Chain A
């Protein structure tokens, strides 16, 4: 009576899923490098290989002033957004939450707008501080609201986030209307990497330390995802860890919004794809989430640059479209199971 009988053990496939295999790592690395090379080669100006080798001429200038910064920005933004998504999903304990479905992106936009009108001379730094402040405060509020709701339907949580985001967006638009900058606002805030050139984007490198910090805290964020009671039983300071997580998200979101604009769905699709195959243990999966986010954005960007060559479709559109489609497939597949 003290050991489970043989018949009762379910025939469970030897799930080596918890550990990411070496082959998977190799495949991901190859895909990632291929996308990076693709990103460097695609563009309105033809690359001259002879000039690349000689480190001079127009091609070299294109590469260092535009293509390389753009690639770095794409990678960092992808990493940042995907990591943000997975952290938010653990804090809120809902798979369908990301900065775009929790009001975070809208709050950051509002912050940029307020900064532009209140202190237009202050530039990027002030924009970032305002975006950061707005994003952080609104996400604290969102988490507080979600925690007060007793009946937590999986679909309800992101719906509340979308409504919340719409309200913030409406406030932003009303404000922009009053300040007479409504038309230009929509232009800037649509995710777009064509503005990324040397000297304009460097603040995005802030995502690098954020991603490292997120990895160091990966175990704690996983425990956070187990809920407040279980986290406390395991000796984790719940409130402090959740606040740190929200702060990391707010910094990342504000940095990306001021450099490249708002990009939806990356934080949603990549973590969900990774969870499906490799589980929720962030210590193992966070690197994959980060690389996946970068790869998705690189791919979306290449598609955007090729669709109406030599012109560009903003990445906000391509990422929204590709991400949305993948997400729909994920939901439908999930329901079938």
Chain B
């Protein structure tokens, strides 16, 4: 579906991403993990075409994305970034309706209306529909932005740290919703995430970056191991499994950091 090949990005002389090649399995949740400055967000921004790669290519269904116009790309890949500087006074309903912009260009038809209703329903946002987004909590706000991204009805969704600043409950709601998007609607979700436990428990696939290069890339079952995580984060990990999932414990290192 979406693949990157030899993708590099440099700001001036500083290389933040060097020759990254990876595929993102369709219909799966892929978590991009790694320490700060690893190039995770840069990779996502390049895939979203919000910044230009220094070299390398991105392919969508085998075709280079360079040739796809912005207005068409918005029907294939939806991106949700952190929206802390968003200062528009819109209601949740209006915001979600803007997810239809790539199709409607402002004239909402019956199908658009149905999709908007479904997206709001999907995240149980109905009670907040007429609330202004600058008057609701950070978690509800993030849900509203996610609903807008869902309403874009793209096969691929890219999310940059969607759990930032959220409480545990909202974080679980968001991750659960992403899981359902894959399982129920067959969408491909790629997200940059810092919380290793959410990544381990909710994603099918893990892509680990460090210093602008891929450290490891594979199904979560094979990649969430004490050795690989230690190598990635330079922290002492202990992975505890139970029937509900696993916990990666790194909070109290056995032997100094």
User: Footprint of B on A, CB under 8 Å?
Assistant: 1-4, 8-10, 12, 14-18, 93, 95, 152, 218-220, 222-223, 225-227, 229-230, 232-237, 275, 279-281, 283
Within 8 Å by CB of A219, from B49, B85, B101, lies B101
Q: A226 vs B89: C-alpha distance in the bound complex, in angstroms?
A: 10
Q: Is the CB of A230 within 8 A of B70?
A: no
- B136: nearest chain-A partner, CB-CB: A10
**In the complex, what residues of A have CB within 8 A of residue B70's CB?**
232, 235-237
**In the complex, what residues of A have CB within 8 A of residue B128's CB?**
9-10, 12
Shortest 10 CB-CB contacts between residues of A and residues of B: A235-B74, A219-B106, A235-B102, A235-B71, A233-B79, A12-B131, A280-B88, A280-B89, A234-B101, A279-B89
Q: Is the CB of B87 within 8 A of A237?
A: no
**In the complex, what residues of A have CB within 8 A of residue B98's CB?**
222-223, 226, 234
Q: Is the CB of B105 within 8 A of A275?
A: no
How many A-B Cβ pairs are below 8 Å? 109
Q: A129 vs B70: C-alpha distance in the bound complex, in angstroms?
A: 33
Q: Interface code B59-100, partner A: CB below 8 Å = 1, 0 otherwise?
A: 000000000001111110011110101111111011000110
Q: Is the CB of A220 within 8 A of B74?
A: no
**In the complex, what residues of A have CB within 8 A of residue B176's CB?**
1-2
Whether, in the assembled complex, B137 has its beta carbon less than 8 Å from a beta carbon of chain A, the answer is yes
**In the complex, what residues of B have CB within 8 A of residue A279's CB?**
89-91, 94, 132
- A152: nearest chain-B partner, CB-CB: B85
Provide 16 A-B residue pairs closer than 8 Å at the C-beta atoms, listed in order of the A residue: A4-B140, A9-B127, A10-B131, A15-B131, A15-B132, A93-B85, A220-B106, A226-B86, A226-B98, A227-B85, A229-B50, A229-B81, A233-B74, A236-B70, A279-B90, A279-B91
Within 8 Å by CB of B152, from A15, A229, A234, lies A234
Q: A3 vs B135: C-alpha distance in the bound complex, in angstroms?
A: 20
- B131: nearest chain-A partner, CB-CB: A12
- A1-B172, A4-B173, A230-B83 are contacts. A15–B130 as well, Cβ < 8 Å? yes
- A3-B124, A223-B101, A280-B89 are contacts. A235–B72 as well, Cβ < 8 Å? yes
Query: In this complex, which of B70, B81, B172 has the most chain A Cβ atoms within 10 angstroms of its Cβ?
Result: B70
The interface on chain B, measured as residues whose beta carbon lies within 8 A of the other chain's beta carbons, has a size of 46
User: Footprint of A on B, CB under 8 Å?
Assistant: 48-50, 70-75, 78-81, 83, 85-91, 93-94, 98-99, 101-102, 105-106, 124, 127-128, 130-132, 135-137, 140, 152, 169, 172-173, 176-177, 180
Query: In this complex, which of B88, B93, B102, B176 has the most chain A Cβ atoms within 10 angstroms of its Cβ?
Result: B88
Query: In this complex, which of B50, B89, B127 has the most chain A Cβ atoms within 10 angstroms of its Cβ?
Result: B89
Chain A interface mostly = loop
**In the complex, what residues of B have CB within 8 A of residue A152's CB?**
85
Q: Is the CB of B135 within 8 A of A12?
A: yes
- B72: nearest chain-A partner, CB-CB: A235
- B82: nearest chain-A partner, CB-CB: A229
Shortest CB-to-CB span from B121 to chain A, Å, is: 11
- B125: nearest chain-A partner, CB-CB: A4
Q: Is the CB of B79 within 8 A of A222?
A: no
A sample of 16 more A-B contacts (CB under 8 A), given A95-B87, A220-B105, A237-B70, is A12-B130, A12-B135, A14-B130, A15-B91, A15-B130, A93-B85, A93-B87, A152-B85, A218-B106, A223-B101, A226-B86, A227-B85, A230-B81, A233-B74, A236-B70, A279-B89
Q: A98 vs B247: C-alpha distance in the bound complex, in angstroms?
A: 54
- B48: nearest chain-A partner, CB-CB: A233
Q: Is the CB of B135 within 8 A of A4?
A: no
Q: A233 vs B136: C-alpha distance in the bound complex, in angstroms?
A: 24
**In the complex, what residues of A have CB within 8 A of residue B48's CB?**
233
Q: A237 vs B48: C-alpha distance in the bound complex, in angstroms?
A: 14
**In the complex, what residues of B have CB within 8 A of residue A233's CB?**
48, 50, 74, 78-81
**In the complex, what residues of B have CB within 8 A of residue A12's CB?**
127-128, 130-131, 135-136
Shortest CB-to-CB span from A318 to chain B, Å, is: 29
Q: Is the CB of A234 within 8 A of B89?
A: no
Shortest CB-to-CB span from B12 to chain A, Å, is: 16
Shortest CB-to-CB span from A237 to chain B, Å, is: 6
Shortest CB-to-CB span from B119 to chain A, Å, is: 14
Within 8 Å by CB of A1, from B87, B93, B173, lies B173
Q: A280 vs B90: C-alpha distance in the bound complex, in angstroms?
A: 6
- A10-B137, A14-B130, A18-B130 are contacts. A232–B87 as well, Cβ < 8 Å? no
Q: A247 vs B124: C-alpha distance in the bound complex, in angstroms?
A: 42
Q: A275 vs B88: C-alpha distance in the bound complex, in angstroms?
A: 9
Query: In this complex, which of A95, A227, A229, A236 has the most chain B Cβ atoms within 10 angstroms of its Cβ?
Result: A229
- B176: nearest chain-A partner, CB-CB: A2
**In the complex, what residues of B have CB within 8 A of residue A275's CB?**
89
**In the complex, what residues of A have CB within 8 A of residue B172's CB?**
1
Q: A221 vs B135: C-alpha distance in the bound complex, in angstroms?
A: 23
Shortest CB-to-CB span from A134 to chain B, Å, is: 30
Q: A95 vs B87: C-alpha distance in the bound complex, in angstroms?
A: 9
**In the complex, what residues of B have CB within 8 A of residue A229's CB?**
50, 79, 81
- A12-B131, A16-B130, A234-B98 are contacts. A2–B173 as well, Cβ < 8 Å? yes
Q: Is the CB of B124 within 8 A of A222?
A: no
**In the complex, what residues of B have CB within 8 A of residue A18's CB?**
90-91, 93-94, 130
Q: A40 vs B130: C-alpha distance in the bound complex, in angstroms?
A: 41
Q: A9 vs B98: C-alpha distance in the bound complex, in angstroms?
A: 23
Shortest CB-to-CB span from A35 to chain B, Å, is: 27
